[in-house]
Amino acid sequence: MTHDGPQWTTPFPEDGRTDAGQAPAGAAPSTGSEAAPAGTGSAAEPDVAVVGAGPAGLAAATVLAEHGADVLVVDEQLRPGGQIYRQPPASFTERGGPAGTAIPAGRRLLSAAADAPVRWWPGTVAWGVFGAGAGLDDFAAADAPPGRLRLATHGPAGTRLVHPRLLLLTAGAYDLPVPFPGWTLPGVLTAGGVQVFVKAQRLVPGRRFVLAGAHPLVLVVAAQLIAAGAEVAEVALAVRRPGVAAAWRALPAVAGNTGKLAEGARALGTLRRARVPVRFGTMVTAALPGADGTLGAVRLADLAADDTPVPGTEREVGADVLALGYGFVPSTELARQAGCATRYDAAGGGWVIEHDRWQRASLPGVYVAGEVTGVAGAEQATAEGRLAGLGALVELGRVRPPTADRLARPVRRELRRRRRLAGLLADTFAPPDAALAAVRTDDTVLCRCEEVTVGAVRAALRGHPHLRTANAVKLVTRAGMGMCQGRSCQPGLCALVAAETGQEVAAVGSYTARPPVKPIPLTALSDPG
């Protein structure tokens, strides 16, 4: 893997590699310059532009480059790895800790990508796709090669347009934000956010932690905090402890997937040895401020059989950080803005991008892989990335369809195996929607960018009974119009609108995604390079 431009960080120095990746047999050696290491594209006209250097993007880029395609990978992070294989800055000298390279699968992926002639634009956000007939379609159209999509990026070199022959979107997922009383207090974080501090910055962002939610990630993060020397007061899971009957039903999904379960068991073992109480059937009902206005305590309650808090069971636990893990939301904004078709998949985290068996989205020239197609874990993301790479190689004419079919066969087998486990985990650790609805009050902030409360949305729905969709409520209340473009409030708002109007969440739809899908400076729009 090489990087274009001297001002950016070297991808893998702690592994002893340079930024000039070794080319595989038959491919031209990479140069580390703007010149393409293989294929015929220029810096801005690669065969394939990949957005996201997580498991899906790395797996796809490696397959593509190994077959001679010119691949450019763009990621807003400074180092590749995505969420699970996240790495600390290259300048950190301390070894160990829960970095991406500590996980064997991560080490293999990162190392294979580093050895492949893949070009890499780190610290670069992809903020719009143009040329597909969606809104603002004439943006920077003047110099674009006809028939190609235009990917707008912004990074250390300013705004750069990429005109790839094919575009692969592997933007991953983010923590599901859950509104409840006190969730905007300083000290209330997501479990994934806390993990980023520990993994990437070697920093424990607090003294006394409570971890709560419904996803097994809270167990993993709690164990990582213990290993980093933090005090964990309690882990509260708003799901039932799986019983013998559930374990029996789970057996077919567990077969061939024991690694993930072992990870959970190891985390539980770490917590038990540290004498951390892990309570199932328990949820957070409020985050309470301390004397200085930051988080001082967490209010927890037992869950009744109907998934609502049991009155009289509430208790307070002192903490300066509450880390919440209720699951993940696919990062579909760029694919939706481009115009790719979506479908609602509750088990997959909400709105996901439709695709065919080669990961082709509905929009010609666009592929999708990993958690944008549904939250299902790093192994599934890796397998989908490989399939997308093979599909793109066929479309580029670099691999014949029978060869792609043969290479894809073991990948498809792996996908089937991983999907069984993903389905089981989604069922067992689903966010407790009834409980979350029960603790929301009118004062609870829903859209933190525009400071729109639950009460304001309820009032809008009462005042305008014809409002039934997320977009309509957005227009009336401004929820979703802020910096985060609705990434934070959309799941909560859709659940609220569905509950108040008696519809399924899917019927409420999603916010229309508009460029820029992520915050960029205004100059990025006036000076497209």
Ligand X SMILES: Cc1cc2nc3c(=O)[nH]c(=O)nc-3n(C[C@H](O)[C@H](O)[C@H](O)COP(=O)(O)OP(=O)(O)OC[C@H]3O[C@@H](n4cnc5c(N)ncnc54)[C@H](O)[C@@H]3O)c2cc1C
Chain contacts with ligand X (rule: CB under 6 A): 51-57, 74-77, 82-84, 125-126, 170-175, 192, 195, 217, 220, 328, 331, 334, 370-371, 377-378, 381, 518
Nearer to ligand X, 45 or 175 (CB): 175
Burial 358-383 (b: 16+ CB within 10 A, else e): bbbbbbebbbbbbbbbbbbbbbbbbb
DSSP letter for 9, please.
Answer: P
- Between 296 and 377, name the residue whose CB sits nearer to ligand X: 377
Q: By CB neighbour count within 10 A (0-12 exposed, 13-18 middle, 19+ buried), where does 213 fall?
A: buried
Find out whether 446 and 493 touch, Cβ atoms under 8 Å.
Answer: yes
Question: Of 46 and 181, which has the nearer Cβ to ligand X?
Answer: 46
Distance in Å, CB of 52 to ligand X, minimum:
3
Region of 512 (left: φ > 0; alpha: ψ -120 to 50; beta: rest) is beta
- Could you tell me the smallest distance in angstroms from the CB atom of residue 490 to ligand X? 16
Neighbours of 223 (CB within 10 A): 25
Least separation in angstroms between residue 27's CB and ligand X is 24
Whichever of 77 and 444 has its CB closer to ligand X, that residue is: 77
Cβ proximity to ligand X: between 30 and 77 the closer is 77
Contact predicate 175/212, CB 8 Å? no
Give the span between the Cα atoms of 232 and 277, in whole angstroms: 9
The span from the CA of 360 to the CA of 230, in Å, is 44
The CB-of-42 to ligand X minimum distance in angstroms stands at: 21
- Which tokens sit at 479? 């929820």
Q: How far is the CB of 371 from ligand X (least distance, A)?
A: 4
CB of 103 to ligand X, least distance (A): 8
Give whichever of 370 and 482 is closer to ligand X, judged by the CB atom. 370
Residue 469 carries which DSSP code? S
- The minimum distance between CB 500 and ligand X, in angstroms, equals 29
Residue nearer to ligand X on the CB measure, 41 or 81 = 81
Give the CA dihedral 138, 140, 141, 146, nearest 10 degrees. Answer: -140
Answer yes or no: are the C-beta atoms of 148 and 163 closer than 8 Å. Answer: yes
Q: How far is the CB of 329 from ligand X (least distance, A)?
A: 9
By beta-carbon proximity to ligand X, the closer residue of 57 and 177 is 57
Q: Residue 485 in contact with residue 517, Cβ under 8 Å?
A: yes
Residue with smaller CB distance to ligand X, 221 or 295: 221
3-state DSSP assignment of residue 106: helix
Count of H-run helices and E-run strands, the chain: 15, 23
The C-alpha angle with vertex 487 and arms to 336 and 168, in degrees rounded to 5, equals: 35
Cα distances (angstroms) measured from residue 375 to each of 215, 246, 391, 405, 419: 12, 22, 21, 25, 10
Strand partners, 121: 74
CB of 455 to ligand X, least distance (A): 30
**Which residues, in sequence order, are CB contacts of 165 under 8 Å at separation 6+?**
41, 45, 46, 47, 48, 148, 365, 396
User: In the complex with ligand X, which residue's Cβ is closer, 374 or 480?
Assistant: 374
Find the shortest distance in angstroms from Cβ 254 to ligand X. Answer: 16
**Least Å from the CB of residue 154 to ligand X:** 9
Label the pairing between strands 119-121 and 158-162. unpaired
**Closest approach of Cβ 216 to ligand X, in Å?**
9
If the CB atoms of residues 76 and 234 are measured against ligand X, the closer one turns out to be 76
* Cβ atoms within 10 Å of 465's Cβ, excluding its own: 8
Smallest separation (angstroms) from ligand X to the CB of 378: 4
CB nearer to ligand X: give 126 or 276.
126
DSSP labels, 334-399: HHHHHT--EEEEGGGTEEEE---TT-B-SSTTEEE-GGGG----HHHHHHHHHHHHHHHHHHTTSS
Q: How far apart are CA 456 and CA 445, in angstroms?
A: 9
Question: Please, which residue, 126 or 437, has the CB nearer to ligand X?
Answer: 126
